[in-house]
Structure 1
Amino acid sequence: MPTTLDAIAETVERVRAIWPGESVESLTREQMIAVNDELGRLRRLVDAGHAQVASRIARESRPELGPDSLAKEQGFRNPTALIAATGGTTTGEAARLVRVGEATEPRMTLTGEVAPARHPHVASAIASGSIGTAAASAIIAMLDRMAFRAGREATDAAEHRLCEQAPGLTLDQLNRVILQAEAVLDPAGVEPREDELRHEKALRFHHEASGAIVLTARFDPEGGAPVKAAIEAYVRQALAAAHDNPDPDASRPTIPQLQADALTRIAEHLLGCEHRDLPVEGATVVVRVSLDDLRDGTGHATIDGMDAPISISTARRMAAGVVIPCVLGNNSEILDWGRAKRLFTPAQRLALVERDQGCAKCGAPPSHTKVHHIRWWARDAGPTDLSNGILLCESCHHHIHDNGWEIRIDGIGVDAHVWFIPPIHVDPDRTPRLGGRRRYGFAA
């Protein structure tokens, strides 16, 4: 059976075959992408090997060994200090390597027998180089928290699903999926977490000597969602206005500056009736929940654009306020218009948010997206129907249309699979890449 070192050696040889050692300027674009992929895998494999060694160092440095501890023999107080110093990293990173190694290495039982790793799916994923130790650590930490609440069978299934889904996701994207997985495994734990966040909410001001007023804020999901939605809507429309009516002589404000402007305008609007022109059209907080969960008080809900799921009691409170409750299973609205209308309706957009969860290609939140025709309205005579709609951020929209990507939708409604098919110059085999809810959400 190939070892981690064998896999590292094979990957190094593949890099050398593509890039024999000349200047990086000698590589074609295709070669650069291939080398980048292999170097990414090499880095993950090296980290996997380091985690194995770190676990063994920690075992050989147990406190009960006293002066015979390996770390103390080398002049260090503990194993993480040794690993951090020799690796040129932090003790926190060293501790993560130890945790991953201990969770993915075979265990020795009290009888001296060798037992499987505590997290076998994660062990297999890091050994193959498909995920790194940062992703492995995030998955392991959540599963360990859930072990007693959810049971072994449920956590094992979640571990398998997360390890399949993690390759290709950024750590931020994976953390969003992990939050959803945790809510599925322990729906009863969502509300206590919210109570804690509610008690921690705060908004503080202080004045700097320059005259600037500095705000520091922390919100629970219920309180933060409308703030986030209103500010994002202002920024989105400000950017659209600047794009449609460019002023070459004007300096372009940054996103943080626009967000500050949004908060100022919201406060002005509240304080004086003369400020009725606040541009936050489309600032909608959508709480998504299944009809059964809403009726029975089970499970959890989500807020568009927010990473952490919320409890059903919070969803009910929010649904009674200035938000739109999107209850799955309601077919009372017309969702297909054929060629009668060019623009997708708000009802169609809500339905597509259920399927895509945001930008179907990159996972950006719904507030950053628009509904686009898969078959173009003008060029292809594409209808304004759900089967021909997709949520994309502006960047991904241009990327797809300018670079020859194709989009395929398999299935109908929330359970449909969204596929992005790369052009030949990106992937000669044109292997479809999964997007939407199936890529950036966690399905129980």
Structure 2
Amino acid sequence: MTNQHLLPLLEAIARLEEAWADADSGIDLSREQLVAANAALGVLQRRIDGLHTEIAAGIAHESRVELGSAGLAKEQGFQNPAAMIAAATGGSSGDAFRLVKVGEATAPRESLLGDRLPAKYPAVRSAVCAGLISAAAAALIVALLDRARLKADPARLAEAEVILAERASGLSLDEVRKLIARAEAWIDPDGVAPREDQARGSRSLTMFERDGSLHLSLTIDVAAGASIKAAVQAYVAAAFQARQVAPHPDAIDADRRTVQMIQADAIADICAHVLGCHDDLPMAGATVVVRVDLESLAEGRGFATIDGSDNPISISSCRRMAAGGGIIPLVLGSVGDILDWGREKRLFTRAQRLALVERDGGCAMCGLPPQMTKAHHLRWWSRDAGPTDLDNGVLLCESCHHRIHENGWDIRIDGAGVAARVWIIPPANVDPARTPRLGGRARYDVAA
């Protein structure tokens, strides 16, 4: 009889076996089989992660300090539980340590009297055991909750745990990190400024020449670096736009620079521009937009966010940027700014684009920063008589724009104005049910 605890894992293996069919290797699979096998492997990996965190918690419990040399890890010849797990998996001790941390945070506990208690983080436990999030994603959530535990209101912390466990499902680890950064500011808004001060105190720029090259290494706080990031990204976007009207990619004078090369050229050209005051630098549209609600700005508490950056900034930094003229206030629809043009104008206005940035946060599909996107009509202006209004506009990078038009993806906007939500709808060959996926800024806003 199969252990009920292992049934989800066996079901995941069966799905993979079905997807793989009778092919000898992955290269022999059809596209449909590759998609199915990739999805099945993801489920299988997360199921294994769930079981592994439970085993890690058991090993840690049997290796607790009070057992001394009789502890399981030491008995097996290892210094600690993480070393024992790493030796079995062939992974790093850091990965094994994270398994132990997640396992201990999500395993049922016992009181001093031996009574059974719920897990420290029950929502994370449910998500891990259900195979909805990976152990790595759970480790990021647990680390955040542990950091905020002594400062945050318990009710707010519990709410954040539920939100994070739900929102992390279906996200890559990089996207979870972005979600975590926003969540930390929401859980502990008073902690934003100290973390920012620490980052500002460790800022540095080192320069040295070696092998005919100048090497730069810059570390700077998010607020101070916002203008650098915006300028470089705008320069890169301009370079890619120029390629659309440039000679054929195989031509002798074609631009074959990588993104990293273009970013290096951006720094050099921006500095040359400052020294020589040239007026032909390709940086049109480089704008730093800082978002903050009026109450937080007036009271000096809470936090602000910079469009295109994962990490929130303090209110004091927001005010400094405003005083220096480096902030675009998002008071939209006032002072004659028309956000709905109907059929009168074909191109979106600056005010409309800022409104779309407020709603979408960048590319609504892949999340690239605003500087690397364009405003596009959902219903084409020329072919479908689509109006140049917010409800018919969306920010997309060039790649996602082509994907929408060429691969059968659709976009739906629910609501009106900057508070609306953007939904990305995959084609039937990607998802037969065509289940809408939340896009834009709302994907990462914990307090949405």
Amino acid at match of 1:428: P
Aligned length: 442
Q: Structure 1: which 5+ residue stretches go unaligned?
A: none
* 2:307 equivalent in structure 1: 304
- 1:291 CA displacement: 1.7
* 2:383 equivalent in structure 1: 379
Amino acid at match of 1:232: Q
Q: Check the 8 A contact 1:58/1:79 in 2, yes or no.
A: yes
User: C-alpha distance in 2, partners of 1:313/1:124?
Assistant: 39
User: C-alpha distance in 1, partners of 2:14/2:233?
Assistant: 48
User: C-alpha distance in 2, partners of 1:427/1:81?
Assistant: 42
Amino acid at match of 1:63: V
Identity, in percent, stands at 54
- 1:337 CA displacement: 0.8
Q: Check the 8 A contact 2:50/2:129 in 1, yes or no.
A: yes
* 2:216 equivalent in structure 1: 215
Amino acid at match of 1:413: G
1:260 and 2:264 matched: yes
- 1:328 CA displacement: 5.1
User: C-alpha distance in 2, partners of 1:360/1:424?
Assistant: 20
Q: Structure 2: which 5+ residue stretches go unaligned?
A: none
The alignment yields a C-alpha RMSD, in angstroms, of: 1.7
Amino acid at match of 2:443: R
The partner residue of 2:328 within 325, 329, 353 is: 325
Compared with structure 1, are the counterparts of its residues 18 and 271 closer, same or farther at alpha carbon in structure 2 (3 Å cutoff)?
closer
1:348 and 2:352 matched: yes
- 1:45 CA displacement: 0.8
- 1:163 CA displacement: 1.2
* 1:232 equivalent in structure 2: 233
Equivalences for 1:92-107 in 2 at 5 Å?
A: 92-107=94-109
Equivalences for 1:31-430 in 2 at 5 Å?
A: 31-208=33-210, 210-246=211-247, 248-250=251-253, 252-273=256-277, 275-327=278-330, 331-332=334-335, 333-430=337-434
Which 4+ stretches in 1 moved above 4 angstroms?
1-4
User: C-alpha distance in 1, partners of 2:291/2:8?
Assistant: 44
Q: Check the 8 A contact 1:358/1:392 in 2, yes or no.
A: yes
Compared with structure 1, are the counterparts of its residues 197 and 61 closer, same or farther at alpha carbon in structure 2 (3 Å cutoff)?
same
In the superposition, the TM-score normalised over structure 2's length comes to 0.95
Amino acid at match of 2:326: V
Amino acid at match of 2:271: A
User: C-alpha distance in 1, partners of 2:441/2:411?
Assistant: 15
User: C-alpha distance in 1, partners of 2:123/2:3?
Assistant: 17
Q: Check the 8 A contact 2:341/2:387 in 1, yes or no.
A: yes
- Partner deviation per Cα, 1:224-252 (whole Å, 9 max, x = no partner): 11111111111211221122122610351
User: C-alpha distance in 2, partners of 1:51/1:425?
Assistant: 35
- 1:117 CA displacement: 0.5
Amino acid at match of 1:14: R
User: C-alpha distance in 2, partners of 1:70/1:328?
Assistant: 62
SS in 2 for 1:326: coil
Amino acid at match of 1:234: Y
- 1:330 CA displacement: 5.9
User: C-alpha distance in 2, partners of 1:78/1:421?
Assistant: 48
